[in-house]
Chain A
Amino acid sequence: MKLLFDGIDEPGLNTLPVYERRGGYQALRKALTMTPDEVLSNITESSLRGRGGAGFRMGQKASFLPHGDMEKYLVCNADESEPGTFKDRELMQKSPHMLIEGIAIASYAAEINRAFIYIRGEYSHQADILEAAIAEAEQAGYLGQRILGSAHDLNLVLHRGAGAYICGEETGLLDSLEGKRGNPRLKPPFPAIEGLYHGPTLINNVETLATVPTIIRLGGAEYAKIGTETSTGTKVVSVSGDVQRPGNYEIELGIPSRVLIYDLAGGPPEGREVKFWFPGGSSAPVLTKDDLDLPYDFDSMAKAGSMLGSGAIIVVDDSHTVLEVALKLAKFYAHESCGKCVPCREGTNWTVKMLRRIQSGEATPMDLDLMASVQTQIIGNCLCVLGDAMAMPIGSMIEKFRDELEAEIEAARERAATGELEDVIALGVADEHAGPLPVH
């Protein structure tokens, strides 16, 4: 079933005439004939869960916003930086009007008159496309004052970021949108009560908002019949890494993960097999090949000790070592940590150093315990979940691949003893690509 990807490769779908010919903006017209509360109850009935990572129900989040006449904001989180995730990129590039329509409907439901799309700075091509689409929509009266003759106004602004993973975190994003460094804020108060410019703010992912027109078109109850009971609807899943056909696949939630990885994405190259996989972007604890038959939905992933996250599957096959992947991962989070909370800032950097020690033959199996304890001390002790996002997968790797890591430690020690690893040791904790680890 294709809801978001229906005809997405049609040439010119990013322009208004083609989108309208395919039935675009009919959902907005329909929504404007209903009261905001009716629209909101449709979204609530659909049980749509946020597609950005946390999986929080959108209708519930929107209902937290206070009613009444005040400055409220809607922010679309298009800062897609989670390694392995590229679904929003394809949606924005090929069907930007679907997102704009979703924003218009959601803002009507929550009685919001100002909306922002925060897009990561690297997506310049997609930002150009969105900017052109916003101008078209304004021209046609789908945005701006008195949308389609109703009493609803909406001012939509595209805001380009400048390259920082932390700005994908909702409160970091708000600070960045206010023109500051993207440091996360203390929660509560949650953005729904006090967010952008201290006003109540509804923040949703691109895919979540792009799904809203479909919900209005089908009706919330009808949409809830798709997928499983607690994970309704379809989801665009980005599959990457060691598979033969990496790409975005729209699936009904609840299909077996094996279908997704093997039938759709083609599985690992000939002669190799899946060693482990991240079910929800690089921040999700890893699953092994024994978990391939699990249904791909929010609850099954949570039950297996991982999470669906942003819906990005990264497959690692048996030609790669766990250490190599763990080190890449830790280096990424150490680079992107904003430095505000000590457990994250120090924990990520020390994890990199400890993993490097394994590589250079200076580690002992006790270091694995130390590293595991560092991970548990990061989780839950910071303002945002960036540190957790490293601690969870690294912790799961130590737990599930301890034998391999111990063998690696031993092998590296033996090689170091023969003087083979002089180069690696000389590198120390430096990043071979980017010079010393940045200190913010």
Chain B
Amino acid sequence: MSPPVPVPRFGHGSRVPGWDEAVDLTKPPATIPDPATTPVPQELRDVIEAAMAKYPDRRSAAIPALHAAQEVHGWCSPEAIDQVATVMQVTPAYLTSVATFYDMLETRPRPKHHDVYVCTNISCSLRGADHFFDAMVGAAAEHPDVHVSSFECLGACDIAPMASVDGEYVGPLTTDDAARIVDDLRAGRPVLEHKQLRYRRCADPGVAEGAEEFAPPEPDVPRADTAGLGPGGDTLDRPGPTAPIEIPVDEAGAGNQAGAGNETHEDDE
């Protein structure tokens, strides 16, 4: 047997770096912060109180509340957690336990920036997600405001390899798309519009055949995306993997309705 290799150790003999970073072991545990000394932005307070009102138990609002605080502060900072704790009347420790559990709640400082989550799970990696991830990291290397991370299955294996760019699903991606994503983000444009999932048709060929209302082919008829929530100004349909399903003349109304839904949604925002 070869001699044992020395194992790097951190404070208190732990092999895990940073295990005691979050706490000061000499301090007494924090209690619910005093509302008088913890100012909370009114908007944040309103969001949290509205969330709490939806549930029989106010603690159910922990995730929505932390999400809202993260929007304001950029991450779940101690200050953000104190503010949520004040409004929800729970201890900061309780909220910290929640914030550290979930992947979408950030517990480390970071500036406000664009998030690119690249799925590197099985279905995507079978189709080259790891190459795309490397290309994406390379493309974003000089742009500190574009934050690239690999993510577990995002539930869009039909457009593998794919990524979620600020919540917008795009795919299938090639390594050339990496630079495009960075360009689009920096220009403030919708990202890779022609590859967005929201415009994609159902792959099942039976959907086109079975729906008698989608009858005679009528090219050049503009249609909204099936969700009716497309980015402003864009009403063109992007065909999915099946033969395009065309909209009959008397169905044009439906397309308009979807367009109308689009506008309403934007008004809501």
Contact = CB atoms under 8 A, between A and B. Distances in A.
Interface of A: 2, 5-15, 17-18, 71, 80-86, 88-90, 93-94, 114, 120-125, 128-129, 132, 157, 159-165, 176-182, 197, 238, 240-242, 245-250, 264-265, 282, 312, 314, 316, 320, 325, 328-329, 332, 335-336, 338, 433-434, 436, 439-440
B122 A282 contact: yes
Contact of A10 (B66, B167, B203, B211): B211
29 contacts: A5-B204, A9-B214, A9-B240, A10-B254, A11-B226, A11-B254, A18-B258, A71-B56, A81-B153, A83-B122, A86-B156, A89-B156, A125-B227, A128-B229, A159-B60, A162-B104, A163-B105, A176-B63, A179-B60, A238-B157, A238-B158, A241-B122, A246-B157, A246-B241, A282-B121, A332-B122, A332-B153, A433-B120, A433-B150
Contact of B207 (A9, A93, A180, A314): A9
B208 A12 contact: no
Interface in B226-269: 226-229, 237, 240-241, 245, 247, 254-255, 257-258, 261, 265, 268
Given A11-B254, A125-B198, A132-B229, 4 more contacts: A241-B122, A247-B203, A320-B126, A325-B122
Contact of B101 (A11, A71, A197, A440): A440
Contact of A17 (B67, B123, B149, B257): B257
Contacts of B214: 7, 9-10
* Interface size range of chain B in the complex: 35 or more
A94 B157 contact: no
B258 A125 contact: no
Contacts of A182: 101-102
B205 interface: yes
A434 B120 CA distance: 11
B181 interface: no
B59 A179 contact: yes
B121 A332 contact: yes
Contacts of B265: 128, 132
A8 B224 contact: no
B63 A162 contact: yes
A347 to B, nearest CB: 18
Contact of A179 (B62, B117, B123, B257): B62
Interface in B163-178: 164, 167-169
B121 A12 contact: no
Given A14-B226, A161-B102, A332-B121, A86 B155 contact: yes
Contacts of B103: 162-164
Contacts of A8: 202, 207, 226
B11 to A, nearest CB: 15
Given A120-B155, A241-B126, A178 B57 contact: yes
A241 B123 contact: yes
B98 interface: yes
A247 B207 contact: no
B32 to A, nearest CB: 15
A12 B157 contact: no
Interface string B37-61: 0000000000000000011110111
A246 B160 contact: yes
Nearest to A265: B203
A244 to B, nearest CB: 9
Interface of B: 16-17, 19, 54-57, 59-64, 66-67, 97-98, 100-105, 117, 120-123, 125-127, 133, 149-160, 164, 167-169, 197-198, 201-208, 210-211, 213-214, 223-229, 237, 240-241, 245, 247, 254-255, 257-258, 261, 265, 268
B252 to A, nearest CB: 10
A433 B133 contact: yes
A179 B63 CA distance: 6
B230 to A, nearest CB: 10
A83 B121 contact: yes
Contact of A329 (B63, B122, B157, B229): B122
Contacts of A12: 224, 226, 228, 254-255, 257-258, 261
A157 B54 contact: yes
A241 B121 CA distance: 10
Contacts of B60: 159, 177-179
B122 A162 contact: no
A128 B229 CA distance: 9
Nearest to A177: B60
Contact of B158 (A94, A180, A246): A246
Given A10-B254, A160-B64, A83 B152 contact: yes
Contact of A14 (B19, B123, B261): B261
A164 B151 CA distance: 11
B101 A164 contact: yes
Given A128-B229, A248-B202, A241 B157 contact: yes
A6 B211 contact: yes
A157 B167 CA distance: 22
B240 A247 contact: yes
A163 B102 contact: yes
A125 B123 contact: no
Nearest to A114: B56
B126 A85 contact: no
B168 A178 contact: no
Nearest to A85: B155
Nearest to B15: A439
Contacts of A180: 59, 62, 97-98
A240 B204 CA distance: 13
Contacts of A128: 229, 265
A64 B146 CA distance: 50
B60 to A, nearest CB: 4
B156 A129 contact: no
A89 B98 contact: no
B152 A14 contact: no
Nearest to A11: B258
Nearest to A16: B261
Contacts of A15: 228, 257-258, 261
